[in-house]
Amino acid sequence: MFSMAFGVGTRDSSAGWLEIFYPAPLLNPSEALSSIVGNVLGYTGGNTSIDLDPAHLRRLAESVQEVDPEQSALLDQLAGSKRPLVATLLATDAKPASVPEVYLKLHLLSHRLVKPHGLNLDGMFGLLPNVAWTSNGAIAIADLPAQQLSARLRGEVLEVNSVDKFPKMTDYVVPAGVRIADTARVRLGAYIGEGTTIMHEGFSNFNAGTEGPAMIEGRISAGVFVRANSDLGGGCSVLGTLSGGGKEVISIGENCLIGANAGLGIPLGDRCTVEAGLYLTAGTKVTVLDNSGKEVEVCKALALKGKSDMLFRRNSVSGRVECLTNKSEIELNNELHAHN
């Protein structure tokens, strides 16, 4: 089996599943565990989600005690819940077909079990409902006015934190060894590597993130992966692959620096620097210089994708974008990124 998880979530009578929390998702669970779970739940194969009740869970907990004590203990805990419960079983990494399947894959990413671009997420947007994420949890949009009125009549205020298809990651997963100054700016499905610091203006979308350690003061769009020891300066932005953008997967290599308010639309190799304020898109005309400062060629930035040891800057006299050998070494503060 590819993946398995047991979860508790929010279900609406008309909208269906709004969200699911999987405390301990499994990637490639053991054959013994998969066989026992399949037998107890009457699983016949494929990718599916199965509604559970406390009796199911207690029987499962007893059955898997010997092969997986941790999952057994979790199942015992879930059995005491009055909230909707579900088991999601994925035989293969096929495109998701339900909200429980999408949430399981988002959890696999944020639990660091799979890196960005390691899962089939095709069609997920059409499956996820738009949800009001409130101080009382997930609420269907159609039910929100009645819930707000009910809270006011009790002398309370129902705080709506966001209206979105994605919740914030830290309501579901807090990876070890990270600092996130504003948790609302990291969506579930982000992969945040150990040693990463995300400052107040930093942002990471789903199916994106950092290998760690890293300093993130800019925006990591969907699909972008930042390798170890790189720094995204304040206000900078890295193009993703959504909203009509190109299909070029943008990644940033190790020991790179994207300056404050800069932008990047091509993949970078290792030890690259983009000057503060410079927005480098795939079509930007770049003048390539040799070590003596002599012009070698003029090309589009896309022709330099994935190359290492490059410094991109704008000539302050001519205004042209130049690329030359990057001789500086980017070093992160080890004490700053030791998040024990």
Digit-coded pLDDT (tens) for 222-275: 999 999 999 999 999 998 875 444 567 899 999 999 999 999 999 999 999 999
For position 248, what pLDDT does the model report? Answer: 75
Cα–Cα distance for residue pair 155/198, rounded to 1 Å: 36
Say whether 132-164 and 3-127 share the same fold: no
Class of domain 132-164: alpha beta
Inform me whether the pLDDT recorded for 189 exceeds 80.
yes
Domain boundaries, the chain: 3-127, 132-164, 169-325
CATH code matching the domain that covers 169-325, chosen among 3.40.30.10, 2.60.40.10, 2.160.10.10, 2.60.40.420: 2.160.10.10
Name which of 67-71, 118-122, 332-336 the model is least confident about: 332-336
330 pLDDT more than 60: no
Cα–Cα distance, 280 to 277 (Å, whole number): 10
- pLDDT band of residue 56 (cuts 50, 70, 90) is confident
Q: What is the pTM of this model?
A: 0.93
276: which strand partners? Answer: none
Please report, rounded to a whole number, the percentage of residues in the chain having pLDDT higher than 90. Answer: 87
Instruction: State yes or no: pLDDT of 337 exceeds 60.
Output: no
The share of the chain scoring above pLDDT 70, in percent, equals: 94
**Residue 329: pLDDT over 70:** no
Pick from 223, 211, 221: nearest CA to 178 = 211
Query: Residue 120 — very low, low, confident or very high, per pLDDT cuts 50/70/90?
Result: very high
Average pLDDT over residues 150-179: 97
Q: Which two tokens stand for residue 139?
A: 């609420």
Residue 19 clears pLDDT 80, i.e. is over it: yes
pLDDT in the model for residue 243: 46
Q: Which of 108-112, 163-167, 204-208, 328-332 has the lowest mean pLDDT?
A: 328-332
User: Which residues are known catalytic residues?
Assistant: 217
139 burial type by CB count under 10 A (0-12 exposed, 13-18 middle, 19+ buried): buried
Mean pLDDT score of the chain, rounded to an integer? Answer: 93
CATH 3.30.70.2010 fits 3-127, yes or no: yes
pLDDT, position 336? 55
